[in-house]
Amino acid sequence: MNPQPILLRKDQERRLLAGHCWIYSNEIDTKATPLKQLEPGQAIEILSNRERWLGHGYVNPHSLICARLVSRSPEQHLTPALWIQRIRDALALRERLYERPYYRLIFGESDGLPGLIVDRYGDLLSVQITTAGMERVRGELLAALEQVLRPRAIVLRNDTAVRALEGLDQQVEIALGEPADTLVLDEGGLAFEVAPLSGQKTGWFFDQAENRQRLARYGVGERVLDVCSYVGAWSLRAAHLGARRVTTVDASASALERVAANAARNGLSDRIEPLQGDAFEVLRELRDQGARFDTVILDPPAFIKRRKDEKDGTQAYQRLNRLGLDLLEPGGLLVTASCSFHMGRDGFQRTVQQAARKSARSLQLLEVGQQGPDHPVHPAIPETAYLKTLFMRALPHF
């Protein structure tokens, strides 16, 4: 059965020709292609207004991002053979980059599989499907992952809120094997217990791994503050680098319990001071107590999840960074991150600078980090370049 063709409106193919793969509902010629006749996840052929063939993809008539282009080759239909080839291509990159199998294996659009995220924890795969098109071929994708990687277990972490935008339910499932609730991974010589079944996202934040290694270059001093710590990846790295006291802040009691367990696992318990509470409230309390730190690390969740959140989210980033700077010793290191793809690098840098001026501090930008190469950036899709991590020095004079 041939895929259903959809026609774009006049001149709406420009972004696709430049390399992007998203098609919005207002870019489709709905007179020529009535969307109500299409099923969520259905395979399609994408044509320009003049019927120029553009690619194979899938559609969801109920979503703002109405279609996604997957293949630009007329012969390359959305079949199990394509999934296998894309997975093999993604694996080849990661095997060049990493000695051990702990990384993001599939990063959606950047790996030619929009709507699919796969994190690899040794012989366990944590899979997240975020679109109706990928959900429709879920069985084929899982079979392809089994064929290429031969995992012992596969966990489906389909509990992300973005699935609701595609009309999909949210749940966690075990698709293969009998995985334990926790496992231990190694990052830069430190051992961390993570929970692929119940932890945040898919259990671990591989995207900041390269940036955490960069701490060694700058030194962290004796007193470190790690805000939004999750299970302690930044905190333990700082302690490992010589910090005598690391104050580790997170709103989640279970996350801080994991921090303590991970600290004990690495012989660093005497250097970690967990502190539960809302990040903003804890920072204000520390400021009022006169606390000061040689390094402040701010790695919050995304404050701007939708374009309409931009104003409030920008203000939240500014408040958080101002509070962090109020606690930083002159000459200290500020490591501050944003994972909001609606806030670009320049906007984030400007927001931190505004926070510095309100805190009467002057900063030097030392380095800008992004997500690691297991989260490759698609040059034509700016949304894939979501992570910005600024390494900044607070000047010892105003």
- Token digits of residue 3: 């895929």
Summarize pLDDT for 258-299 with one digit per residue, the tens: 999 999 999 999 999 999 999 999 999 999 999 999 999 999
Lowest mean pLDDT segment, chosen from 27-36, 120-129, 218-227, 385-394: 27-36
Residue 20: predicted pLDDT: 97
pLDDT interval class at 362 (50, 70, 90): very high
pLDDT interval class at 398 (50, 70, 90): low
Crossing angle of helices 233-240 and 209-218, rounded to 10°: 30
Residue ranges in the chain assigned as alpha helix (H):
14-17, 80-97, 132-136, 138-149, 209-218, 233-240, 253-265, 279-288, 310-326, 345-358
Mean of pLDDT over the chain: 95
pLDDT at 34 over 80: yes
66 is catalytic: no
Residue 180: predicted pLDDT: 86
Query: Please, are residues 124 and 95 in contact by the beta-carbon 8 Å criterion?
Result: no
Rounded (5°) CA angle 100-105-108:
165
Residue 309: predicted pLDDT: 87
Query: Please, are residues 60 and 54 in contact by the beta-carbon 8 Å criterion?
Result: no
Sign of the alpha-carbon dihedral angle for 137, 139, 142, 147: negative
Residue 214: predicted pLDDT: 94
Residue 166: predicted pLDDT: 93
Instruction: Report d(CA 70, CA 25) in Å as an integer.
Output: 17
Summarize pLDDT for 131-168 with one digit per residue, the tens: 999 999 999 999 999 999 999 999 999 999 889 989 99
- Which pairing describes strands 124-129 and 65-71: parallel, antiparallel, or unpaired? unpaired
- In the set 21, 66, 228, 339, the catalytic residue is 339
Summarize pLDDT for 75-118 with one digit per residue, the tens: 999 999 999 999 999 999 999 999 999 999 999 999 999 999 99
Instruction: Report d(CA 198, CA 370) in Å as an integer.
Output: 26
